Amino acid sequence: MSAPIRRTGATRSADIPADVLEALSLGTLSSATLAEGLALDQARLLRAVFPDLPPHALAKADAACGIGILKRMHAIAGMLLQALGPTSIARCQAHAADTVRGWACFMIGQQLDLDLPGRLQAIRPLADDPHFGVREWAWMAVRPHLARDLEAAITELTPWTASPSERLRRFASEALRPRGVWCAHIPALKQQPQTALPILEPLHADPATYVQDSVANWLNDAAKDRPDWVRALCAHWRQGQPTEATRRICTRALRSLR
């Protein structure tokens, strides 16, 4: 009987125990930290999940492992789509390893036959995934499509702000942050952040810290270009008897302006 794997909560790749890294790279263990997700060997993981991939596909994946993580996820997903077709999305989506489900996110992002409502419908289960990393891949994978058709994206995502799932409510905000993390900025929202009020307003008193942080970060992004607008919006939200959630959002939203 093998010894149980000991997790250390490592925040640096160099500190991840070898047996943890091995299990992550074989797809038998989900990452517990960002460091683990970045450190695993995606080439090995790919071979473990899809052992029958042709050599030319594996060569593309091996080359992708030498580039940045976001480009790597995009490249491996594109290779899988080309080699196996869209039916392989369901196989990735059902896999226990979070990185494999992340490939499914980017495969959905690269499908050519989806309109925006269809793409959002396809990404929805992954946006609501139990794993923090998959939820991040989900919005990153479809953000370029949202940014290209901003009006339609806001229309489609506004109902998500009423979802019982805090993960989906957070997706509506996080996917359209003006600046965001590991992603291209959205110039239209940097200059006209009021365009996103149909999403921000329903979330201004959200009870979930997960959502509050996203809304606050959204406004902190906007404050880099439109500080007066963010100040005015927070002043409006603070009128009367604001909830503790609203006070927390506004305090964090204004942190760069103090």
Quote the pLDDT of residue 1: 38
Quote the pLDDT of residue 180: 83
Q: What is the Cβ-side half-sphere exposure of residue 254, based on CA atoms within 13 angstroms?
A: 17
Quote the pLDDT of residue 9: 62
DSSP string, 151-214: HHHHHHHGGGGG-S-HHHHHHHHHTT-SS-SSS---HHHHH-GGGGHHHHGGGTT-S-HHHHHH
DSSP string, 203-249: GTT-S-HHHHHHHHHHHHHHHTT-HHHHHHHHHHHTSSS--HHHHHH
For the chain, the structural domain boundaries read: 41-148, 149-258
- CA-based torsion, 210, 215, 218, 220: positive or negative: negative
**Of all residues in the chain, what percent carry a pLDDT higher than 70?**
96
Taking only the tens place, the pLDDT of each residue in 177-229 is: 999 888 999 999 999 999 999 999 999 999 999 999 999 999 999 999 999 99
Q: What is the reported pTM? A: 0.93
**Of all residues in the chain, what percent carry a pLDDT higher than 90?**
92
Chain-centre distance for alpha carbon 224 = 22
2-11, 55-64, 124-133, 249-258: which range is least confident on average? 2-11
For 149-258, which CATH class? mainly alpha
